[in-house]
Amino acid sequence: MTIEKTIDGTEATLAIEGWLDTNAAPELLKALDELESDTESLVLDLSKLEYISSSGVRGIVSAYKKMNGALKVRGAAPGIMSIFKATGIDKKLSFE
């Protein structure tokens, strides 16, 4: 998995590519910890995410909590969306 971070003012975008699984989830948590304190909103670009495990979903829940709900998900594939729906997290997240 790779994460590319882009900052535009007070909005950060994390573009995640590959597999967000047990081995990769700590990288997402690290990227969240490294966000600047003035970051007001976060976009997770999942357009190149191929797979997400329960650990990955927990990482996204952590991002949602860290941002106090100021989180958008962009480009999630149908398979990823089905995981979000199965876990109920789709009701909390905002999608683009």
Integer Cα distance of 47 and 75 in angstroms: 4
62-80 per-position pLDDT tens digit: 999 999 989 999 999 999 9
11-52 per-position pLDDT tens digit: 999 999 999 999 999 999 999 999 999 999 999 999 999 999
Instruction: Report the first-to-last Cα separation within the chain, whole angstroms.
Output: 22
In a domain, 55, yes or no: yes
Integer Cα distance of 63 and 68 in angstroms: 8
In a domain, 15, yes or no: no
Number of domains the chain contains: 1
Integer Cα distance of 26 and 79 in angstroms: 22
**Whole-number average pLDDT of the chain:** 95
Domain that holds residue 86: 51-70+79-90
Look-up: residue for tokens 């909005």? 11
In a domain, 46, yes or no: no
In a domain, 58, yes or no: yes
How much is the pLDDT for 87? 94
The pTM is what?
0.94
Look-up: residue for tokens 């829940």? 61
In a domain, 13, yes or no: no
